Structure 1
Amino acid sequence: MPKIAVVGTTAGWSSEKLTATVAGHTGFHLLVDMNRCVLDLERNTVWFENHDLSTMDAIMIKKIGARYSPDLLDRLEYLRLLESKGVPIFSAPRKIMGVLDRLSCTVTLREAGIPMPPTQITESPEQALRIVKEYGEAVFKPLFTSKARGMEIIRADDHPEEAIAAYRETNPIMYIQKKIELPDQDLGLAFLGGEYLTTYARQKTNGAWNTTTNSGGKYAPFTPQAETIELARKAQALFGLDFTCVDVAETEEGPLVFEVSAFGGFRGIQEASGQDAAQLYLDYVLQRIGHV
Structure 2
Amino acid sequence: MRIAVVGIPGGWSSEALADAVAKATGERLLLDLGGARLDLSTGQVLCGGPGLRPVDLCRLDAVLIKKAAPQYSPDMIDRLELLRFVAGRGVPCLSDPERILRLVDRLACSVTLSLAGLPLPPTTVTEDPAEALDAVLGYGRAVLKPLFTSKARGMVLLDAASLGREASAQVLERFRAANRVLYIQQALDLRGQDLGVCFLGGEYLGTYARRKDVSPSAGGVSPSAGGAGSWSTSTESGGRYAAFDPPAEIIELARRAQEPFGLDFTCVDVALTDSGPYVFEVSAFGGFRGLKAARGLDVAGLFTAYVLRRLKQAREPRT
Normalising by the residue count of structure 1, what TM-score does the alignment of the two structures yield? 0.98
Q: 1:25 matched to which residue of 2?
A: 24
**Does structure 1 residue 185 correspond to structure 2 residue 193?**
yes
Q: 2:267 matched to which residue of 1?
A: 245
How many pairs align?
291
Matched residue SS, 1:11: coil
Q: Distance in 2 between matches of 1:187 and 1:92?
A: 25
**Does structure 1 residue 6 correspond to structure 2 residue 2?**
no
| Larger displacement relative to structure 2 (170-179 or 249-258) | 249-258
Q: Distance in 2 between matches of 1:208 and 1:227?
A: 30
**Does structure 1 residue 47 correspond to structure 2 residue 46?**
yes
**Does structure 1 residue 16 correspond to structure 2 residue 38?**
no
Which residue identity is paired with 1:288?
R
Pick from 108, 112, 117: which aligns with 1:113?
117
**Does structure 1 residue 231 correspond to structure 2 residue 253?**
yes
Per-residue Cα deviation, 1:232-287 (whole angstroms, up to 9, x for no partner): 00000010000000000111222110000000011100011111000000000000
Normalising by the residue count of structure 2, what TM-score does the alignment of the two structures yield? 0.90
Q: Distance in 1 between matches of 2:58 and 2:120?
A: 40
Pick from 123, 131, 138: which aligns with 2:135?
131
Q: Distance in 2 between matches of 1:79 and 1:164?
A: 36
| Larger displacement relative to structure 2 (185-194 or 148-157) | 148-157
Q: Distance in 2 between matches of 1:64 and 1:180?
A: 30
Structure 2 segments unaligned to the other structure (5+ residues): 49-53, 214-227
Pick from 171, 176, 199: which aligns with 2:184?
176
Matched residue SS, 1:267: helix
In the TM superposition, what are the counterparts of 1:204-223 in structure 2 within 5 Å?
204-205=212-213, 206-223=228-245
Per-residue Cα deviation, 1:193-235 (whole angstroms, up to 9, x for no partner): 0000000000014522010000010000001121110000000
Which residue identity is paired with 1:270?
K
In the TM superposition, what are the counterparts of 1:148-159 in structure 2 within 5 Å?
148-156=152-160, 157-158=162-163, 159=167
**Does structure 1 residue 70 correspond to structure 2 residue 79?**
no
**Does structure 1 residue 199 correspond to structure 2 residue 207?**
yes
Q: 1:100 matched to which residue of 2?
A: 104
Q: Distance in 2 between matches of 1:48 and 1:121?
A: 37
Q: Distance in 1 between matches of 2:275 and 2:304?
A: 38
Structure 1 segments (4+ residues) deviating >6 Å:
none
Which residue identity is paired with 2:57?
L
User: What root-mean-square deviation, in Å, do the aligned CA atoms of Structure 1 and Structure 2 show?
Assistant: 1.1
Matched residue SS, 1:176: strand
* C-alpha contact 1:228 1:250 (8 A) present in aligned 2: no
Q: Distance in 1 between matches of 2:303 and 2:12?
A: 16
Q: Distance in 2 between matches of 1:183 and 1:153?
A: 16
Pick from 218, 243, 256: which aligns with 2:278?
256
Q: Distance in 2 between matches of 1:155 and 1:183?
A: 17
Between the two proteins, what is the percent identity of the paired residues?
Answer: 54
Pick from 73, 81, 85: which aligns with 2:85?
81
* C-alpha contact 1:241 1:262 (8 A) present in aligned 2: yes
